[in-house]
Amino acid sequence: MKAAVLHSTGSIDTLTENLRVEEVPKPVAGDDEVIVKVRYASLNHRDLWISLGQYAKIQLPVILGSDCAGIIYARGKNTGGIDELDSVVINPSLNWGNNELHQSNDYSILGMPDNGTFADFVKVKSSLVYRMPSHLSFAEASALPLAGLTAYRALFRKANVMSGENVLITGIGGGVATIAMQLAIAAGANVFVTSGSEKKISKAIDLGAKAGALYTDPEWWKQILSQSEKNIDVIIDGTGGNTMSALLEAVSYGGRIVLYGATLGRAENVNLYKVYWKQISLLGTTMGSSDDFSDMLRFVGERCITPVIDSAYDLEYIVTAFQRMQNMEQFGKIVLKI
């Protein structure tokens, strides 16, 4: 079968040498496993960070990819509840454990160290396979799992977002931020966004966001407060870094800030006085449990939410797809046709 195999890490300029589409053996299902014939897969920043060596405990070579949609191709003798040729998505959250509050010590994400979805076929435990929401195409469904799971847990398990609340989502255009916006709007929240691009803010407004501000303005949070009548109940952020100080300014008294990443690194010179005096709740989250995943799929199906597809590439052009992500050109998910 064809697969995109990462052999070594390096810069974006060496990715053509390090990440190669080649022939590898087709996986064989164990007793409690299934083989999924991948139709579409989608990129996540995690895949890019692994390729650039900016991720912990990298094990190579590996087939990258956490997300996909496809059909059941084969299954082991101890699998049930799903049949061959069923259209499915995979929960990429592996070994979460029994505690809904946090992942176990054995937790990992599909696509490293386990071989992932950028291949003709992928092997997973049957418990990780779910039927696709019926209103989605394979391309749309492939864009949902990792980003949708992360966004759903951040919004509803952590922040407990309610209809009518004002929600700020930073870095709109990224996969998690974009689906978080869609989920929050579907739940009846008023969504405000930040971006480094006026074009992306305009796209977000077209999709139902109320307004937005350019984070290139050092005092962007003042614009958000003006737009929201000085009331931001919840902030969903994956950037961290110096953005943290602005988030503490923007959020209302008694508000909640959910952090799902820190792409800008450590937060320096954060005024902790703001946290306790404003009664702010700081909530961390990463990925989610199987219950989160099934609830996310149910919510998407009931509200007929369609993930935003930025662009689609054949697997052979995966390096070009990564370059688009590295350049922060996308709005929504970049998908691969397998």
Q: How confident is the model at residue 137 (pLDDT cuts 50, 70, 90)?
A: very high
Q: What is the pLDDT of residues 210-249, one digit of tens each?
A: 999 999 999 999 999 999 999 999 999 999 988 899 999 9
Q: How confident is the model at residue 82 (pLDDT cuts 50, 70, 90)?
A: confident
The answer on pLDDT for 270 being more than 90 is no
pLDDT value at position 81?
82
pLDDT value at position 83?
84
3-state secondary structure string across 216-238: CCCCHHHHHHHHCCCCCCEEEEC
Distances (CA, A) of 133 to 66, 137, 196: 18, 9, 32
Q: Are 29 and 78 contacting, i.e. CB atoms less than 8 angstroms apart?
A: no
pLDDT value at position 266?
86
What's the rounded Cα separation, in Å, for the pair 66 and 41? 8
Nearest alpha-carbon partner for 19 in 315, 312, 309: 315
Query: Which tokens sit at 141?
Result: 């469904």
User: Residue range 98-119: average pLDDT?
Assistant: 97
Specify the pTM. Answer: 0.96
Nearest alpha-carbon partner for 145 in 246, 72, 68: 68
Q: Domains in the chain and their CATH numbers?
A: 2-144+307-337 (3.90.180.10), 149-284 (3.40.50.720)
pLDDT value at position 102?
97
Q: What is the pLDDT of residues 173-188, one digit of tens each?
A: 999 999 999 999 999 9
Nearest alpha-carbon partner for 132 in 211, 36, 60: 36
